[in-house]
Structure 1
Amino acid sequence: MQQGPAPFSRHLRVHRHRGHTVLEFHGEIDIAAAVEIAPYLDRVTAHPDARIVIDLRRIEFFDCSGLRLLYRARGRALDHGGQLHLVCTHPLTLRVLRITGLSRLLPPHPTLDAALNQPEATSGTL
């Protein structure tokens, strides 16, 4: 997968790990952060067979803008034959994911290694 470097953002760090593109979200993921993150997330999820992990362990706040980012990224990755996994340990974010049902579509893993040990794209149903 060819991709350019991630744009500078205080809310996003990108690196490669075991053949996956890992997007670490940082700080407060609200509408302003989503506007910064969305174009890059759209770019990486558009690649055929992309293998992506979104890591939420370094967030402090996560609202419905963040939920929209995750839902859209999941759909785009699956539409292009890719995989998308989620890492999250933040109790309030886990609660929001569970209450909204997104945790059934995109089950959160406690560590990057746990997410990478998943054999298939997450494709749960509501």
Structure 2
Amino acid sequence: MQQEPAPLGRHLRIHRHRDHTVVELLGEIDIAAAVEIGPFLDRVTTEPGGRLVIDLRGVEFFDCSGLRLLYRARLRVYESGGRLHLVCTHPLTLRMLRITGLSRLLPPHPTPQAALDPSGTTSGTS
């Protein structure tokens, strides 16, 4: 059963999808937004065995601060034995992920359903 997203600030919403916590990032993800988002991501990425989806479909702008958030979240989830999936469809953000190599660590999916498909790639466990 999917819950209605709960806003946690201007740049962040959270809800459950299947047995995963879905963190939706919204708007412009720059250094100011990263300051707002970082502490929340730190909390949800340290849960032992946590299952997390970061959804970037609502993002209009994404800079190196956003890349740093993703990399840190992936590292923290991996260290706690969890799983992290990324949802992203914006062409410029996808390009940044490819150029930096982050797409190899966090393969982007077009939807949360596609990210959680059992035949898909799981990041944070390899």
Give the whole-Å Cα distance in 1 for the aligned partners of 2:102 and 2:26. Answer: 20
CA contact (8 A) 1:44 1:50 kept: yes
Matches within 5 A, 1:68-83: 68-83=68-83
Give yes or no for contact 1:30–1:64 (8 Å, CA) kept in 2. Answer: yes
Structure 1 length normalisation: TM-score?
A: 0.89
Distance 1:85 1:8 in 2: 20
CA distance in 1, matches of 2:29, 2:118: 26
Output the CA distance in 1 between the equivalents of 2:35 and 2:111: 26
Partner SS state of residue 66, structure 2:
helix
1:48-97 deviation digits (Å, cap 9, x = unpaired): 00000000000000000000000000000000000000000000000000
Instruction: Give, in angstroms, the shift of residue 122 of structure 1.
Output: 0.7
Moved over 3 A (4+): 118-121
Q: Aligned-pair distance for 1:107?
A: 0.3
Determine the structure 1 residue equivalent to 2:3. none
Identity of aligned residues (%): 72
Q: Output the TM-score relative to the length of structure 2.
A: 0.89
Within 2, Cα distance between the matches of 1:118 and 1:58?
A: 24
CA distance in 1, matches of 2:78, 2:8: 27
Q: Cα distance, 1:11 vs. partner?
A: 0.2
What CA distance in whole angstroms lies between the structure 2 residues aligned with 1:7 and 1:21? 14
- Number of residue pairs aligned between Structure 1 and Structure 2: 120
Unpaired stretches in structure 1, ≥5 consecutive residues: 1-5
Matches within 5 A, 1:22-33: 22-33=22-33
- 1:78–1:121 CA contact under 8 A, matched in 2: no
Alignment of 1:1-126 (within 5 A): 8-118=8-118, 121-123=122-124
- Offset of 1:45 from its aligned partner? 0.4
